[in-house]
Amino acid sequence: MTDQMRKRRKHIMAAAAFMLIFGGLLALATIFDLQVSFLLATPNLVEGRYFSTNFCCNLVEVAAMAPIWGFATFAACILTVYAHHRTGPGRCLQVFFFGLSVFTGTFFLRDMMKYLLQITDREDVMEQIWFNALMAAFGLLVTILVLALAGGRIQAHMGVLLPFALVIVGSCCCFLFVELIKNPVGRMRFRAMHYIGDYSYYTPWYRVSDARRLLGSLGFDRDYFKSFPSGHTFSGSMACLMIPFPDLFGSWRTPKRKVLSYVIPIVYTGTVAYFRVAAGAHFFSDVLVGGTMGFVAVQFFRYLFLHRLRERFK
C-alpha cells in the first residue's frame, strides 16, 4: 500500500468517525434537547428576566463572537497589503479590503458592546451617533495599527498568509448560512419560553416553528425565535482556524503543537456551546449544529486553499 493510499484511507476513516460521532450526538440532542435545557439553564434564569443571571453565561454572550471578527479583520489586512503591492487595476482593491478591515474591526467591539448593553437593559445607547462613531474609530485604529506594525512582515510572508486569508474569508462567510437558516426555522429560545412561562412552543430542530406567527402580534422581540442553529457557537468555532497552523508555520509542526491546534479550538468551542445552553439561549442541538458547521467550513477551505490550490500562491 502506497503512502498516498494510506493517507486517503486515514482520511476516510477520520471522516466516517466524525460523521458517526456527530450523528450520535445529534440523535441524543433530538431526544433530550428540552430536558438538557431544563437541567442546565433553569438555575440561571429568573422570573421576569430574559437574560441569564449567571456571570459566565453573560461573559460568553458578550465575548464569544470575537474569533470570527478578529480573524476576519486579520484576513482583510492581509488582503489590503496584497492588493497594495499589485500593479494595474487590482491595486484599487486595497481600498475595498481596507474598508472591510475597518468594518470587521468595528464589529469586533460593537458586537460585544451590543450584548453587554442588552444584558444591562441599555440597548438604546446603540442608537446614539457618538456610540457608532466610537465603534468605527476603534475599527479604523485597529486596522491602521495592524498595517503599520505588521504590514512589512505580512508582505514578507505573503506566500503563506494569502492562502490563509482565503481560508479565513471562506470560513467566516459561511456564517451567512447560519443567518439564512435561523429566520425560516424560527425556533423559539428556551429562555424566551421561560420568560413567558409557556414551554408548549418547543419544537425539535428539524421542524419549522410557528411560534413567531402565534406570538408576533404580542410584540415579542424577534430574537426570541432565532435559536437554531447557534450563531455564537459557529463564531466561537472560528477558533478552529488554528487547525491550519501546522500547514502554514514550521514552528507548529511538532507533535505537541499539532495536538494543541485541535485541542484549543475544540475546548473553546465546547465551552461556548455549554454556556450558550446554560444561558437558555440555545438547545443542545443548536450548538452542536452551529459548532459543527464552523468546523466543517474551516476544514473544507483548508483543504481547498492549503492543499488543492496551494501551489498557485507560490
- Model confidence band, residue 171 (pLDDT cutoffs 50, 70, 90): very high
Q: Which three cell numbers stand for residue 231?
A: 450563531
**51 contacts: CB under 8 Å, gap ≥ 6:** 58, 61, 118, 119, 191, 279
Whole-angstrom distance, CA of residue 72 vs CA of residue 65: 11
The model's pLDDT over 132-170, given as tens digits with 9 standing for 90+, comes to: 999 999 999 999 999 999 999 999 999 899 999 999 999
* Alpha-carbon Rg for the chain in angstroms: 21
- Model confidence band, residue 307 (pLDDT cutoffs 50, 70, 90): confident
Whole-number pLDDT of residue 191: 96
Whether 95 contacts 27, CB under 8 Å: no
The angle, 0 to 180 degrees and rounded to 10, between the axes of the packed helices 158-173 and 175-185 is 0
Cis, peptide link before residue 67, omega less than 30° from 0:
no
Centre a 10 Å sphere on the Cβ of residue 105 and count the other Cβ atoms it contains: 28
Q: Which three cell numbers stand for residue 97?
A: 479590503
Q: What is the mean pLDDT of residues 251-270?
A: 93
Whether 191 contacts 42, CB under 8 Å: no
The model's pLDDT over 53-85, given as tens digits with 9 standing for 90+, comes to: 999 999 999 999 999 999 999 999 999 999 998
Whole-angstrom distance, CA of residue 11 vs CA of residue 235: 26
Whole-number pLDDT of residue 202: 96
Whole-number pLDDT of residue 214: 85
Q: Which three cell numbers stand for residue 288?
A: 452542536
Whole-angstrom distance, CA of residue 261 vs CA of residue 145: 27
pLDDT at residue 111 tops 60: yes
Task: State how far Cα 270 lies from the chain centre.
Answer: 12
pLDDT at residue 217 tops 90: no
Q: What is the mean pLDDT of residues 255-278?
A: 95
Place of cell 459548532: 291
Percent with pLDDT over 70 in the chain: 96
Q: What is the mean pLDDT of residues 289-314?
A: 87
Centre a 10 Å sphere on the Cβ of residue 299 and count the other Cβ atoms it contains: 17
Whole-angstrom distance, CA of residue 87 vs CA of residue 84: 8
Q: How far apart are the first and last CA of the chain?
A: 31
Whole-angstrom distance, CA of residue 144 vs CA of residue 154: 14
- Model confidence band, residue 103 (pLDDT cutoffs 50, 70, 90): very high
Q: Which three cell numbers stand for residue 153?
A: 512582515
Whole-angstrom distance, CA of residue 77 vs CA of residue 131: 24
pLDDT at residue 102 tops 80: yes
pLDDT at residue 277 tops 90: yes
